Each structure stands twice: as C-alpha cells, then as structure tokens.
Structure 1
Amino acid sequence: MTPALPLSVVVPVYNEEGNVAPLVREIIKALRGVIDFEIVYVDDCSKDGTVAALQALKTEAPELRIVRHVTNSGQSTATRNGVRAARGAWIATLDGDGQNDPADIPNLLQKRAASAHDVKLFAGWRVQRKDTGSKRWASKIANAIRSRMLRDSTPDTGCGIKLFEREAFLELPYFDHMHRYLPALMQRAGWTTVSVPVNHRARGTGVSKYNNLNRALVGISDLRGVSWLIKRSRITRIEEL
C-alpha cells in the first residue's frame, strides 16, 4: 500500500477527556502549514467522555480520525492499531496526557531530514522531566537496568513522543508493552535509532494510569523477553544476482 500522507500523529488514550481538545489544537498549531498530516486517536475503551470530546472536535479538526477499542487492551495495542490504521509513511506518537509537546514534532522531522536513510526511529529524550521525584528516580533506575541488559544506547525509552517509519514499525515483533522497547527492537531489526532532547510538561488533567510497582513487575518479565529476542536474532543482508 502506497502511503497517502507523509505523516500520521498517533495518540493512544484511556480516560483523557479533559486533555483531548487542548492536545489536538496544539498538534494542529504545530503542523498545519508545515507538512500534510492526519491525527489518529485510538481510544482504549475509555469509561469517561473521551470519545464524545473527540467527536466534538471533528468540525474544527478535519485531520482528526478516531479509532476505538471494543475492549481495554493497553497502550502498546492501541499504538499498534493506530499505526495500522494510519495512512502516513512516518508516524509521530504522543501520550494523551499532554506531557509531550507537539511543538517538538517539527524538530524531529528536521532531524530526520538531516539523518542517514537507515535511521528509522527518533526517540524523544526528556532531559528536564516534570514528574514527581519518586517517578523520576524509578525511571532512572529502570533506564539504567534496561540499558545494561539491552545495550540500546538510549537514555529514555519511556518518552511518549517518537518519530518512526510506519513500515519498519509494523515489521517488529508485537507484544504487550512493546512501546517501551522500540529502540532496542528497531536496532534488533538492523536499523539505527537516535535520541533527541524534547520538552516535557506536567500532566494536563486527570491521573496517571501507571504506578511504579506495576511498571517494575511488568518490566522484569519484558526485559528478559526482549533480551532473548535480541540474542536469537540474525540479520543478513542480501543481494540480487
């Protein structure tokens, strides 16, 4: 399938009613006149008014498309389904809580334009995080352990803002929570990844859907699985004779 657009912005959301309108308007402000794009929101079966808030934006945001899960399936599944539904050759992802700044997307696009063809992922790097102290420390420890095990040379894999090639992403092995390991998975596939400093903000409204304990418990199992995938991978370049 030939991509119909150069860029799709994919935003997975769960119970983010109050953050929908401000973020959609920021995306439009950042990208209109810069590049042809669409916005694909994936609602992970929210229980609040998230879908209604999205539908109310259709008139002012013709770029907006809405995909809804019938059952709650998690952020990785929502991201993947958004990418599958997207019509862009490249994908920019944002967390739906407003902590990622859409104004960073043009910067990522400029970085891509200046990079080699084999760079398929530009990962946001939150150099000045606006989270609680406990969350920052938990993330610092988790990043250190991940980096030691996977050797992915990525200082911050938990940042929601990323820019990657749609085709390369869809070739990656899929599993729940895979969105936290995209640099390692892209490198496993033979591609290069680059970390780019980005802005980070306090959550707009609502509450986080994660806590330090459930992140840690899931992360231990995931790290072992991704490490196994990397060890078992074989990359072979081919030539046509």
Structure 2
Amino acid sequence: MTSLSIVIPVFNESGNIAPLVREIIQHLRGQVAFDIICVDDRSEDDTRDVLIALAAEVPELRMLVHQCRCGQSAAIRTGVKYALSPWVVTLDGDGQNDPADIHDLIRARANADPLVRLVTGWRVDRQDAAGKRWASHWANHIRRRLLHDDTPDTGCGIKLFNRAAFLDLPYFDHMHRYLPALMQRAGWKTMSVPVSHRPRRTGQSKYTNLGRALVGVRDLLGVSWLIQRSHVPIVSEIGSGRKL
C-alpha cells in the first residue's frame, strides 16, 4: 500500500481534533505517503478555527466544510470523494480511536485475500459508559443475526477500505454502520481486527441510546431488504477481438 487518505468527520470536537491530527502525523509521517481530510459538519463550537490554525502547521491536512449539517455518513462520503489515495482510513473525530492501530489494519489487509476491500476495527475493550456498551452489544447481536455479516463491531470508527468499492455502495444516512454488510452485498470480502479504544478527552457523545435505536431499526430493515433483493453478477468478456 503506497499511500493512504485519512478521513475524519468532525462535529463540535474543538478539544479533540488537534491532538488526534498530531498523533496521526506521529505514527504515519515517514512510514507511508498520506493526506488527512477533516470534514467539518457545520460545527457550532470553534472546531473550524482550530482546523484552520492546524492546517498552517500540517501540510498533509486538508479541510472541508459542510454548509449545512448533514450527519456523519455524509461527512465520511464527502471526505472519501475528495480523497487522493485508492485506500482510505476513517477515524472518529473524538480521539477514541488510536491512530497507532492504522498499521495493524494495513498489515491485515496486506496478508488477506485480494477480495478483501474492508478491514474494520473491533473494540475489544471499550471505554464507554456501561449503558452505551450494553446498547451496542445488543445492537451488534441483532444486526449479526439479521444481516449475517460476521462482524462483531460495526460501530467502530477506525476502518480501512478501498475508495472505489466504497463509492460504489448505495448511499443513505447512517450507512457507515453497515459497511461490512454493504461490502459483502457488493461481492467483496471483509475482516475485523482487534483495536484499542480510549476514553474521550473532552466533549460529549453526539448520540443517545434511544436515538440510535429509533433510526437503527429502520436502517436495519432497509439494509436487510437491500441484501435480499441483490444479485452479484459474475461477468466474462467473450469475443471482444481486442488484444490485451
């Protein structure tokens, strides 16, 4: 893997984004060619000002701003569309993902089946409140039973995936929580890699258990419908008369 684009969706993360970007620089500079794309989803604090100041000292950093709030999935998709590299790593802007784990995802992909287009992190020791861990446990259990995506943790923000394969997926709000099932629906393979998880430095989570549950049921049923109605064609080119 010769280069990476690091995509970070941010909303009201003024206290977390600068330390996170500096950690990425620490772990990647001199190891792999990369660019960092921070997508500000119309933050209400001074996240944008922090990013502007940070861009002056970090040449790898690029900043994109949504003119209206569109949500995390839209911010991720915006960043991927502007990515310069064929492989993309996503990280949550709250700093709970450890950039050091990027190397583990790269190594796993290098040793995997060529059809693997998504390597997702698996938070084996979550540092969230008990109620949030409980809700995620049951959400993951129900999702796996319904979608059969063989993924223990789809909510982990750190992921490595192929840019072209991602952009070929159907887009909808909250799609980032269903990437393994969507990639598998498209005919690709996925895998999970244990990663670390850290407490928030500052700020508050943007989601509540009730809010996730209300949209999660609808999204889960929608993704299940997509999978049931999908067929992946196997294509062979015959009689083209061209010399390759």
**TM exceeding 0.5:** yes
The alignment status of 1:200 with 2:197, answered yes or no, reads yes
Letter in 2 for 1:86: A
- Bigger Cα displacement from structure 2, 108-117 vs 62-71: 108-117
- In the other structure, the counterpart of 2:109 is 112
Where does the alignment leave 5 or more consecutive residues of structure 1 unmatched? none
The alignment status of 1:98 with 2:95, answered yes or no, reads yes
User: Match of 2:38, SS?
Assistant: strand
- In the other structure, the counterpart of 2:234 is 237
User: Match of 1:140, SS?
Assistant: helix
- Per-residue deviation at 1:219? 0.2
- In the other structure, the counterpart of 1:170 is 167
- In the other structure, the counterpart of 1:88 is 85
Q: Deviations over 1:169-191 (max 9, x none)?
A: 00000000000000000000000
In structure 1, C-alpha distance between the alignment counterparts of 2:149 and 2:107, rounded to whole Å: 23
User: Match of 1:197, SS?
Assistant: strand
In structure 2, C-alpha distance between the alignment counterparts of 1:37 and 1:27, rounded to whole Å: 10
In structure 2, C-alpha distance between the alignment counterparts of 1:236 and 1:21, rounded to whole Å: 45
- In the other structure, the counterpart of 1:216 is 213
The alignment status of 1:136 with 2:155, answered yes or no, reads no
The alignment status of 1:146 with 2:143, answered yes or no, reads yes
Letter in 2 for 1:99: Q
Q: Let me know the Cα RMSD of the aligned residues.
A: 0.7
The structure 2 residue matched to 1:60, chosen from 57, 62, 77, is: 57
Letter in 2 for 1:89: P
- Per-residue deviation at 1:59? 2.7
Letter in 2 for 1:20: I
The structure 2 residue matched to 1:123, chosen from 116, 120, 125, is: 120
Q: Deviations over 1:105-140 (max 9, x none)?
A: 011111111112100000000000000000000000
- Per-residue deviation at 1:60? 2.2
Letter in 2 for 1:40: I
- In the other structure, the counterpart of 2:73 is 76
Where does the alignment leave 5 or more consecutive residues of structure 2 unmatched? 239-244
In structure 1, C-alpha distance between the alignment counterparts of 2:236 and 2:191, rounded to whole Å: 27
In structure 2, C-alpha distance between the alignment counterparts of 1:71 and 1:91, rounded to whole Å: 24
- Per-residue deviation at 1:6? 2.1
In structure 2, C-alpha distance between the alignment counterparts of 1:45 and 1:59, rounded to whole Å: 21
In structure 1, C-alpha distance between the alignment counterparts of 2:52 and 2:146, rounded to whole Å: 43
User: Match of 2:74, SS?
Assistant: helix
Letter in 2 for 1:95: D
The alignment of Structure 1 onto Structure 2 pairs a total of residues equal to: 237
Q: Which runs of 4+ in 1 moved over 2 A?
A: none
- In the other structure, the counterpart of 2:158 is 161
- In the other structure, the counterpart of 1:8 is 5
In structure 2, C-alpha distance between the alignment counterparts of 1:21 and 1:221, rounded to whole Å: 35
User: Match of 2:55, SS?
Assistant: coil
In structure 2, C-alpha distance between the alignment counterparts of 1:34 and 1:113, rounded to whole Å: 15
- Per-residue deviation at 1:20? 1.2
Q: Percent identity?
A: 62
The alignment status of 1:39 with 2:36, answered yes or no, reads yes
What TM-score results when the alignment is normalised by the length of structure 2? 0.96
In structure 2, C-alpha distance between the alignment counterparts of 1:204 and 1:82, rounded to whole Å: 24
